[in-house]
């Protein structure tokens, strides 16, 4: 998406504010504009409030709030951005050292009865893409390890998954990481768990691991951006906080991730359906009243 200009409220009343106003050729900057509430009647409402990343602080065993070198996939995406805080360099937040050995933990907070019950759909493909960031940054020196329950390469992305899987610099470990500790000497996160596809030499059980990495990326799931208690109208909401399609909702329709955890394609399709249903309701009411 192209970069957009926004106005920082802190410059209002300052010299910078006047400069911003003068620089806007469309004369769209009004530094004297006041907050205003507008009331109007609507025949239907499309609720398109989007999603937010799940709070990684709630996943206590992973130590997001305790270990500087444990970050979320959203933060990693920002780090890899050439216009981001590190200029696109993959470095450790704790000391700025190059992060070449990176672990990705899938379903961090998703598909978990203690957190989010649902699959967030976008996390697997986002992680597979992010392993390319590691490869682009460090070449063969960059190593990615993906700890996963299942890899859900939806739609036509199976080929992309197989391409990443065949990359010798990417390792897949089928495991739900139990906990993360920290090596106090070097700040490396240490992942603890059981590899359910590997057995001890004597065949007595699965292999337990305690593996160090430069950086850990939590593939955080998505949840509705509006809490249940914040809805202004009485509508049907499931236990995950998503709006359920129900006759009781009347003319209120959910679009995109207000209805479920969706990727972009599904969100666009679902939003199109919500808009059409809203139009149908308005036309039906207009026809009845006419």
Domain ranges of the chain: 30-50+225-289, 55-222
What residue has token string 């049907």? 236
Residue 200's pLDDT band (cuts 50, 70, 90): confident
Residue 230's pLDDT band (cuts 50, 70, 90): confident
For position 233, what pLDDT does the model report? Answer: 78
With a pLDDT cut of 70, the percent of the chain lying above it is 96
Which DSSP category does 98 fall into?
B
Contact criterion met (CB below 8 Å) for 276 and 283: no
Mean pLDDT along residues 259-263: 92
CATH fold for the domain made of 30-50+225-289: FAD/NAD(P)-binding domain (3.50.50)
Residue 85's pLDDT band (cuts 50, 70, 90): very high
Between residues 140 and 200, which one has the greater pLDDT?
140
Query: Which of 276, 20, 61 shows the shortest CA–CA distance to 181?
Result: 61
Give the span between the Cα atoms of 98 and 80, in whole angstroms. 13
Give the span between the Cα atoms of 191 and 218, in whole angstroms. 12
Give the span between the Cα atoms of 241 and 224, in whole angstroms. 6
CB count within 10 Å of CB 71 equals 21
Q: Do domains 30-50+225-289 and 55-222 have the same CATH topology?
A: yes
Distance, first Cα to last Cα, the chain: 43
- As its CATH architecture, domain 55-222 has 3-Layer(bba) Sandwich (3.50)
Instruction: Looking at the chain, list the stretches that DSSP marks H as alpha helix, in order from N- to C-terminal side.
Output: 15-23, 73-80, 123-138, 158-165, 264-289
Instruction: Provide the greatest CA pair distance for the chain.
Output: 81
Residue 199's pLDDT band (cuts 50, 70, 90): confident
Residue 140's pLDDT band (cuts 50, 70, 90): very high
Which DSSP category does 224 fall into?
E
For position 284, what pLDDT does the model report? Answer: 84
For position 249, what pLDDT does the model report? Answer: 86
Burial level of 289, CB count in 10 A (0-12/13-18/19+)? exposed
Mean pLDDT for the chain? 92
Contact criterion met (CB below 8 Å) for 152 and 121: yes
Residue 2's pLDDT band (cuts 50, 70, 90): low
Mean pLDDT along residues 228-235: 81
For position 254, what pLDDT does the model report? Answer: 93
Mean pLDDT along residues 150-154: 88
Give the span between the Cα atoms of 247 and 257, in whole angstroms. 20
Which DSSP category does 245 fall into?
P
Residue 1 above 70 pLDDT?
A: no
Residue 31 above 80 pLDDT?
A: yes
- pTM assigned to the model: 0.85
């Amino acid at each position: 998406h192209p970069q957009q200009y926004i106005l920082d409220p802190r410059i209002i009343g300052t010299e910078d504010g006047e400069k911003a106003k003068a620089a806007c050729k469309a004369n769209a900057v009004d530094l004297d504009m006041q907050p205003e509430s507008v009331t109007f009647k609507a025949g239907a409402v499309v609720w398109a409030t989007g999603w937010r990343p799940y709070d990684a602080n709630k996943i206590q065993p992973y130590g997001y709030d305790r270990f500087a070198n444990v970050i979320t996939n959203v933060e990693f995406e920002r780090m890899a951005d050439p216009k981001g805080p590190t200029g696109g360099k993959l470095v450790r937040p704790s000391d700025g050292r190059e992060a070449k050995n990176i672990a990705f933990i899938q379903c961090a907070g998703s598909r978990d009865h203690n957190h989010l019950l649902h699959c967030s759909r976008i996390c697997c493909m986002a992680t597979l893409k992010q392993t390319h960031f590691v490869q682009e940054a460090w070449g063969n020196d960059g190593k990615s390890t993906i700890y996963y329950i299942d890899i859900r390469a939806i739609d036509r992305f199976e080929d992309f998954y197989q391409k990443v899987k065949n990359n010798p610099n990417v390792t897949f470990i089928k495991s739900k990481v139990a906990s993360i500790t920290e090596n106090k000497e070097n700040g490396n996160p240490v992942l603890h768990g059981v590899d359910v596809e590997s057995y001890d030499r004597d065949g007595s059980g699965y292999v337990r691991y305690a593996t160090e990495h430069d950086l850990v990326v939590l593939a955080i799931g998505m949840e509705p951006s509006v809490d249940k208690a914040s809805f202004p109208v009485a509508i049907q909401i499931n236990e995950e906080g998503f709006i359920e399609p129900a006759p009781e909702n009347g003319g209120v329709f959910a679009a995109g991730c207000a209805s479920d955890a969706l990727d972009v394609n599904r969100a666009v399709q679902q939003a199109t359906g919500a808009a059409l249903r809203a139009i149908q309701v308005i036309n039906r009411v207009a026809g009845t009243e006419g």
